[in-house]
Amino acid sequence: MSSSPNIKIYVCHHKTSPYIKNECIVPIQVGRKLSKNSLDYCIGDDTGINISEKNKSWCELTAIYWAWKNDDADYYGLMHYRRYLSFKSHHDYTVINKLDEDIVIEHKLDPESIKNICAEQDIITGPVWNVHPVGLPWKIMSNYEQYSLDHYKKDLDIVIEIVKEKYPKYYLALLESLYSTSCFFANVAIMKREYFHEYCTFLFGVLEEAELKIDISEYDSYQSRIWGFIAERMINAYVLYARRAYENIRVSTAGLMYLAESPIINNQEVLNLINHKKIENKILLNEDIHICMSFDDRYYAHASAAIESIVDNAHPKQKIIFNLLCDENLTENKRNLLLNGLKPNIKINFIEINPSLFSSLPLNRSYISLNTYYRLVIHKVLPDVHKVIYMDSDMICVDDIAKLWTENLDGKCIGASLDEGGVLQSRRLLLGADNNYFNAGMIVFDLNVIREKYDDVFNEYMINFYINNREISLQDQDILNITFKDETKILPLKWNVNSRMFTANDLERKYNIQQEAETLQDIGILHFTDRRKPWTLTCVHPLRDLYWGYRKRNPHAPMSKQDKFIERYAGKITYRISGGFILVKVFGLNMKLNKSLVAKVLRALKINF
């Protein structure tokens, strides 16, 4: 081999997207034979010896096959248009929202860096992580168990038998890998020529025989990607085999960089559109609008801002009744403050809830209180109400709530908007590839329909929790999604505009970036969905001032010194966690801090971070 190795890392593309292209990194359009469009910045997997027509079920393997059969390189690699190896670390996971020269240099994806790194290694894989179901990091399992959970166990068993009979030298490595509890993902790796060719002979030999034995004609679009899923297990087995078989082989890992799509946002234009709504004609309904919320003293100030925003954007004569589900943790003092100075058309009812009803339900997020479960008894505690809009307290309404009230639920029990990571959540709860997992921050409950279809839906909630408790990680949201899997009308995204619409979103979701962009032109309710709420110092949400505007105009929730400090300096301090350290940027200055030490200081100062 020459001192400057010939390296070809193929990056799979199937649609127009940002890309890196240089001497070592080659964009390749996978499934080009099936596509109506040809990506001009890519080579195609449909030339020479190829299996391009199999891309729907073979996924990125059509690129690997093409490289194996048609290219002559010293090193071969695979990455994806959203998933790139990052050579600046061995294990970090970084989310980015652009690909530019600075990113290329920072993550050492320029040709010189790639050549220097590869020259010192024989195999480089993505980071090795523990295996667990999506969203359940504490539920560690083997690769075999995880495949059996997400896919069809019988298919993997057939592959194991083929390896045992036809490729016995890899059999023990395959078993060791499948029954271990860690692996690298997505078939992302770089291999020196001799190892790559040996791996491909093994991989495609096994899969081509398995293809003859496994009928996937009835599989849905997700399960049809079977060969890509199985290959993820086989590449881990091969690397383990190579470690055992070849003395002094050099194997290392690299970090992973995820390119998340995000809409191009003109913050001022979005604010102008929101402000314009205030001068639009408001709807005056000849019926009461019932809003339901639940919070305690800790969330009182934020909930009062949400209430103020609802009233401010409604018709000045519209009758709105706020039904607040509460317990003793919403004290008499706070209740009196809410009642003080109410307009004649606004009414607040305090509905007492017995916390012991929910004693067996988990609270596995630090910013979640038991109040989140109180919505599960709305049908009982509001017996004379036929419909209600439930809203979380970390929301700000910027449109007329009457528009939401008049949304047609088409006879369904509830109406809600899609979640920011709904595809992953549906997969975790085994709800099926076609399921519409919704965010429970805003739900329209048709209580009459619920009462007609269920003798007591609370029992249904609890049954679903007990049966699925090991998979549930998002509290009542999961319970509601399981219960109303087939009884939900999906409402426009505008009624639950999550924080990830304003930044890079690395979660799989049912809606696309075009729908996000359209939603931001017509926002109904803002939902500050992540930990960095407007009242935390690290909040970078571009519309956080809307929250502060309603906080400051509400005399019942005066601003403390800490509030004023956070309002002034929020967004000027950002951070990300890497291993045991927090990488902090303060007014443009970068610092690396010990994570455990920072946590102790923040707890001592009682600062929300």
Rounded Cα distance, 226 and 71, in Å = 26
Rounded Cα distance, 422 and 541, in Å = 21
The string of pLDDT tens digits covering residues 380-427 is 999 999 999 999 999 999 999 999 999 999 999 999 999 999 998 998
- Per DSSP, 398 falls in state -
Rounded Cα distance, 528 and 395, in Å = 6
- Helix runs in 181-266, H state only: 193-213, 226-245
- Residue 470 sits at φ, ψ, to 5 deg, of -75, -20
- pLDDT grade, residue 538 (50/70/90)? confident
The string of pLDDT tens digits covering residues 463-482 is 999 998 888 888 899 999 99
CA quadruple 385, 387, 392, 393: dihedral sign: negative
Mean pLDDT over all residues of the chain?
A: 92
Rounded Cα distance, 431 and 134, in Å = 13
The pLDDT of residue 474: 85
Single out the residue of 462, 309, 489 nearest to residue 400, CA to CA.
Answer: 309
The rounded percent of the chain whose pLDDT value lies above 90 is 75
Which element (helix H / strand E) includes 549? helix 544-553
Judged against a pLDDT cut of 70, whether residue 5 lies above it is answered with: yes
Q: Which fold has domain 267-454+487-533+544-555?
A: Spore Coat Polysaccharide Biosynthesis Protein SpsA; Chain A (3.90.550)
302 in Cβ contact with 394 (< 8 Å): yes
The pLDDT of residue 495: 98
Rounded Cα distance, 346 and 341, in Å = 10
**What value does the mean pLDDT take over residues 502-515?**
87
**Residue 478: both structure tokens together:** 């999961």
Rounded Cα distance, 514 and 490, in Å = 17
| pTM of this structure | 0.84
**Residue 180: both structure tokens together:** 């271990």
Range of lowest pLDDT (261-265, 526-530, 574-578) = 574-578
CB atoms within 10 A of CB 405: 21
Task: Number of helices (H) and strands (E) in the chain: give both, helices first.
Answer: 22, 24
DSSP string, 463-500: HHHHHHTTT--SHHHHHHHHHTTTSEEEPPGGGSB-GG
Residue 591 burial (CB < 10 Å; 0-12/13-18/19+)?
Answer: exposed
Single out the residue of 387, 389, 288, 300 nearest to residue 346, CA to CA.
Answer: 288
**Residue 84: both structure tokens together:** 């790139």
Rounded Cα distance, 31 and 499, in Å = 34
The rounded percent of the chain whose pLDDT value lies above 70 is 94
**Residue 440: both structure tokens together:** 């429970």
- pLDDT grade, residue 1 (50/70/90)? very low
- Residue 343 sits at φ, ψ, to 5 deg, of -70, 155
The pLDDT of residue 261: 78
**What value does the mean pLDDT take over residues 180-202?**
97
The pLDDT of residue 364: 56
- How far is CA 117 from its chain centroid? 32
Of residues 168 and 510, the one with the higher pLDDT is: 168
* Residues in a beta bridge with 324: 293, 350
* Residues in a beta bridge with 350: 324
- How far is CA 389 from its chain centroid? 25
* Residues in a beta bridge with 397: 525
Provide CB contacts within 8 A for 42, sequence distance 6+: 13, 19, 27, 28, 29, 32
Domain ranges within the chain, ordered by starting residue: 7-259, 267-454+487-533+544-555
391 in Cβ contact with 306 (< 8 Å): yes
* Residues in a beta bridge with 496: none
The string of pLDDT tens digits covering residues 294-346 is 999 999 999 999 999 999 999 999 999 999 999 999 999 999 999 998 999 99
- pLDDT grade, residue 358 (50/70/90)? confident
Rounded Cα distance, 231 and 58, in Å = 9
C-alpha distances out from residue 534 to 313, 366, 396, 513, 588, Å:
20, 17, 11, 24, 20
Strands 129-130 and 525-527: unpaired
320 in Cβ contact with 291 (< 8 Å): yes
Range of lowest pLDDT (147-156, 230-239, 257-266, 587-596) = 587-596
**Residue 388: both structure tokens together:** 């209600």
